Amino acid sequence: MAKDKKVEQITDMEVDFAQWFTDVCVKAELVDYSGVKGLFILRPYGYAIWENIQSWLDRRFKELGHENVSMPLLIPESLLQKEKDHVEGFAPECAWVTMGGSEELPEKLCIRPTSETLFCEHWSHVLHSWRDLPMKYNQWCSVLRWEKTTRPFLRGREFLWQEGHTLHATAEEAIQETEQMLEVYAECWEKFLAMPVVRGVKTEKERFAGAERTYTVECMMHDHKALQAGTSHYFGDGFARAFGISYSDKENKQTYPHQTSWGASTRIIGGLIMTHGDNNGLVLPPAVAPIQVIVVPVAAHKPGVLEKANELLAALKAAGIRARIDDSDNSLGWKCAQWEMKGVPLRLELGPRDMENGQCVCVRRDNFEKVPVALAELTEKVPELLDAVQQGLFDKAKQNLDSHIFEAHSLEEAKELQEKHGGFIKTMWCGGLDCELAMKEKAGMTSRCIPFVQEHLDDVCPICGKPAKHMIYWGVAY
């Protein structure tokens, strides 16, 4: 008999959460390291997860009237310089091309960290009349940001994402677009990835460079740190003025359009891992899992077992379920550990005794519950079990979020709560930058968002004692 492959071990998250995360990324075969620091190889299993997310979002974008385009990889330095706040915000992360072949270029070219300037240049050529509006574009691409500290998915120098860019005739239309696209992200994360979110607005300090308003969805990880999971930005007409984008309105007057952008990246896969994973590895919600059911024959050498297992596989596939069979000669123990590591939502076991009883055993990845399923009811019961896993993962993550939101009435109390429990600390806030900086310096927390759902916790800011304007969430973030 062939010797089993070695089952990869991972660090317990309670021992070292950062190492646990890296172990899962590598040993669940999501990524590999490349020859350039901070540039990761997305392996087939990791890329398949991204493809499923991409497919869901792309469908929604198109339902809402957006069209996909492709912009250049390189941005001339002079073009990047046109919007002052924008270029200052990205300058530390820019990577530059200075040579073409063996010749020095007459102007440095930036490898895109984001594509606002490219869209603006294009729109300045093609927008003429109010009849051309709205323009609603989206791009699927990679971007490069020269980060100093890198980790798979969470902070890489190159990463995959989508960036939506739109032009509108009025501020009201543009703001509606910005809010609508944030809700698309929230819907995808909650319904598709089983990740509950907090919706809100970023403070002025945390806004996207050049934006008038930035909206965000914030998630909470297993270790009670925050993850910014998607953002949408309202630019007003600032970029349009800087780049000379204008059009003739209905009164034949030249006017400037109002602009938005919004984006989400492969970073959300890091959030997916840290929201649902456990000490056995990855845990994937069925909606996004590349493999929803793994069929594992037990005692496959016995007559009829492998044939029946393949028959069940065919039935599952015919029912639209993403299924695969593990008919390797590895032991049952190795197979169970391997597919648990890869987070497959359901493991279907079938052996000689199961066949005699006209059933199989389905094992849920979220709670390891073993559920006998009659073979005659397989294609009816498996979708129900997958739905139960999806809901179970969301409920567990929602409980983690809800139980780690704490109310504080002083900076000292906020710091103590964060050090003791982690999570989101909600306080009132005067809106002042000095108080925001004080919270970072003295309590180690950044503002996560001013949530759409406001509560009145107090009349004054707990940091300075001045009248409060908002309720705000603070936290330690990835």
The 10s digit of each residue's pLDDT in 296-311 is: 999 988 999 999 999 9
Cα–Cα nearest to 394, from 287, 293, 309, 315: 287
Number of domains the chain is built from: 3
| In a domain? residue 399 | no
Question: 157 φ, ψ to 5°?
Answer: -75, -40
| In a domain? residue 88 | no
Question: Side chain identity at 252, as an amino acid letter?
Answer: N
Q: Do 310 and 344 fall into the same domain? A: yes
Q: Do 45 and 162 fall into the same domain? A: yes
Cα–Cα nearest to 268, from 306, 312, 230, 223: 230
Task: Name the residue range of residue 460's domain.
Answer: 406-475
Inter-axis angle of helices 305-318 and 378-402, nearest 10: 70
More confident residue, 471 or 8: 471
Q: Which residues contact 134 (CB under 8 A, 6 or more apart)?
A: 65, 166, 167, 168, 169, 173, 177
Question: Does the pLDDT of residue 463 top 50, yes or no?
Answer: yes
The residue from 385, 420, 452 where one domain ends is 385
Measured between its terminal Cα atoms, the distance across the chain in Å is 46
> For residue 134, is the peptide bond before it cis, meaning its omega torsion is within 30 degrees of 0?
yes
Report the residue count for the chain. 478
Q: What is the CATH number of the domain that holds 469?
A: 3.30.110.30
| In a domain? residue 77 | no
Buried-exposed string 290-309: b where 16+ CB fall within 10 A, e elsewhere: bbbbbbbbbebeeeebbebb
Question: Does the pLDDT of residue 3 top 50, yes or no?
Answer: no
More confident residue, 300 or 68: 68
Q: Do 191 and 43 fall into the same domain? A: yes
Q: Do 448 and 380 fall into the same domain? A: no
The residue from 223, 242, 276 where one domain ends is 276
Give 436-447 pLDDT, tens digit per residue: 999 999 999 999
| In a domain? residue 114 | no
Q: Do 36 and 128 fall into the same domain? A: yes
> What's the whole-number mean pLDDT along residues 358-371?
97
Alpha-carbon distance of 161 to 139, in angstroms, equals: 8
Q: Do 137 and 228 fall into the same domain? A: yes
The residue from 225, 248, 276 where one domain ends is 276
Q: Do 308 and 349 fall into the same domain? A: yes
Q: Do 299 and 266 fall into the same domain? A: no
Q: Do 271 and 299 fall into the same domain? A: no
